């Protein structure tokens, strides 16, 4: 039996996400990111397409590496202005019954005590449809906004490890399952003997008490992670239930997924305990030729400047310092070498210039873009899943909500005909979508269950 393909919609509570400048396309409604009705309609669309979840990215500072200022990001609407994604979820949950919601929160800048309650609250209000994308923030602008210097890469993960320990203690250990007695006769709402202060004292955090919220349907929200580095993969193999990876082509995917599954097994978990998703953007039309025409039209609205700003954010390299039409030299700096290694995997025959990089990233960012008819897109998605040993797709967009609606109306039915997308939700919580009906809580081999 063919593996079910899980889909998450990759979005952000901002006008620009992975395709800089596409808010200017006449069909785009991205400027309505402040309008709750826009998000309610999107949630209904995704539920109609039986998506597992709407995944909301977030940043806590502007992309200001390009040119040394945030001007390009502001001008092109690149992930700024951006609203707080937490505020949208309960409203979208109120008009859906199956769609899950995964929201990004940074272990670098949040504090575990209030964050545990925020997630427990959302898990209650959604009846168990919430996940947490755990990130360690990398933007220097975010560090400056919090009045701190950027932590070294591995130190960010040391902090994140302790952060997770505190969260697990609050979610899994501070309340017994039967602590809420609701004893009207005896006048006892909560039995005090069944609520336990965690008394955590570590290198980064000191938390004495217990979670202010009672246990929610999942207790711990589904844990997602997006680490690409070796340290990030190790963190994901230990904690993650869903992992987002940037796989530039399907032939490279299996080596990456194999390494993640090896590390998951080494951490004492099953190889498939982590569901692995790659990010793709799809440009869809009735025929392949029409889709290619649409893709060329999209390129006319995409912002090269915004793409360079996006590139600077994730790479730390300011392309404004180089002639945009001259090939980057492999011997210049370690950062340039790392960048060129990345793009050489895409096409080793090219001498990549800043203009080439910006053109490539202007639709969909670094991630691949599928262009074609619904049948062609379905073929390609199946190939990515099967050749790459992937579990699902984090689907991005160029024009919103047009591209998502086209995918739901044309590609999803094609994949349902092929038995690759379910026709109805199986289970009622987000964790059940990933781990199977009946699995509402963390698996017994997850570190969150055994935390001291």
Query: Which residues fall in the annotated binding site for FMN?
Result: 58, 104, 153, 157, 229
Confirm if 102 and 130 have CB atoms less than 8 A apart: yes
- Look at phi and psi of residue 77 and say left if phi exceeds 0, alpha if psi is from -120 to 50, else beta: left
Closest CA to 390 of 297, 256, 210: 256
Residue 267 neighbours by CB distance under 10 Å: 17
Q: What is the DSSP letter of 198?
A: -
Query: Residue 167 in contact with residue 204, Cβ under 8 Å?
Result: no
Please enumerate, by residue number, every residue annotated as part of a binding site.
58, 104, 153, 157, 229
**Alpha-carbon torsion 230, 233, 57, 354, what sign?**
positive
| Distances 237 to 81, 221, 258, 386, 428 between C-alpha atoms, Å | 33, 17, 11, 21, 25
Token readout for 148 is: 């701190």
The CA distance from 208 to 67, in Å, is 45
Tokens for 56? Answer: 């909301």
Number of neighbouring beta carbons within 10 Å of residue 249:
13
Task: Give the length of the chain.
Answer: 452
How far is CA 429 from its chain centroid? 18
Tokens 């960010």 belong to: 156
Cα(214)–Cα(416) distance, integer angstroms: 39
CB 134 within 8 A of CB 221: no
Pairing of strands 100-106, 53-57: parallel
How far apart are alpha carbons 178 and 191 in whole angstroms?
A: 8
Max intra-chain CA distance, the chain: 80
Give per-residue burial for 21-42: e unless 16+ CB within 10 Å, then b.
bbbbbeebbbebbeeeebbbbb
Round to whole Å and give the CA distance between 196 and 171. 11
CB atoms within 10 A of CB 424: 6
């Amino acid at each position: 039996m063919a593996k079910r393909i899980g889909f998450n919609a990759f979005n952000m509570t901002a006008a620009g996400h992975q395709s800089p400048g596409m808010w200017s396309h006449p069909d785009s409604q991205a400027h309505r990111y402040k309008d709750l009705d826009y998000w309610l309609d999107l949630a209904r669309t995704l539920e109609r397409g039986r998506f597992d979840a709407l995944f909301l990215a977030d940043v806590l500072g502007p992309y200001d590496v390009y040119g040394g200022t945030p001007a390009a990001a502001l001008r092109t609407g690149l992930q700024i202005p951006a609203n707080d994604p937490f505020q949208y979820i309960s409203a979208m949950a109120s008009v859906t019954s199956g769609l899950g919601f995964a929201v990004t929160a940074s272990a670098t800048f949040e504090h575990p005590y209030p964050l545990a309650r925020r997630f427990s609250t959302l898990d209650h209000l959604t009846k168990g449809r919430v996940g947490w994308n755990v990130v360690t923030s990398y933007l220097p602008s975010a560090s400056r906004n919090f009045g701190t210097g950027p932590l070294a890469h591995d130190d960010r993960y040391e902090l994140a490890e302790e952060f997770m320990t505190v969260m697990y203690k609050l979610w899994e250990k501070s309340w017994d399952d039967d602590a809420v007695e609701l004893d009207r006769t005896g006048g006892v709402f909560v039995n005090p003997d069944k609520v336990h202060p965690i008394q955590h004292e570590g290198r980064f955090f000191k938390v004495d008490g217990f979670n202010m919220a009672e246990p929610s349907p999942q207790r711990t929200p589904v844990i997602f992670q997006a680490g690409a580095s070796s340290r990030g993969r190790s963190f994901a193999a230990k904690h993650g239930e869903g992992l987002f990876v940037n796989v530039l082509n399907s032939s490279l995917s299996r080596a990456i997924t194999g390494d993640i599954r090896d590390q998951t097994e080494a951490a004492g978990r099953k190889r498939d305990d982590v569901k692995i998703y790659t990010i793709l953007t799809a440009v869809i039309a009735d025929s392949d030729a029409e889709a290619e025409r649409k893709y060329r039209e999209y390129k006319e609205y995409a912002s090269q400047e915004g793409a360079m700003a996006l590139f600077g954010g994730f790479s730390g390299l300011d392309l404004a310092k180089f002639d945009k039409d001259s090939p980057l030299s492999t011997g210049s700096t370690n950062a340039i070498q790392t960048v060129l290694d990345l793009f050489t995997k895409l096409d080793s025959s090219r001498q990549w210039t800043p203009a080439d990089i910006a053109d490539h990233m202007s639709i969909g960012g670094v991630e691949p873009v599928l262009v074609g008819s619904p049948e062609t897109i379905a073929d390609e998605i199946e190939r990515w899943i099967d050749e790459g040993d992937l579990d699902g797709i984090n689907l991005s967009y160029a024009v919103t909500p047009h591209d998502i609606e086209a995918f739901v109306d044309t590609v999803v039915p094609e994949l349902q005909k092929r038995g690759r997308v379910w026709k109805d939700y199986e289970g009622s919580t987000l964790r059940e979508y990933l781990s199977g009906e009946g699995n509402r809580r963390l698996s017994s081999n997850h570190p969150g269950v055994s935390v001291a």
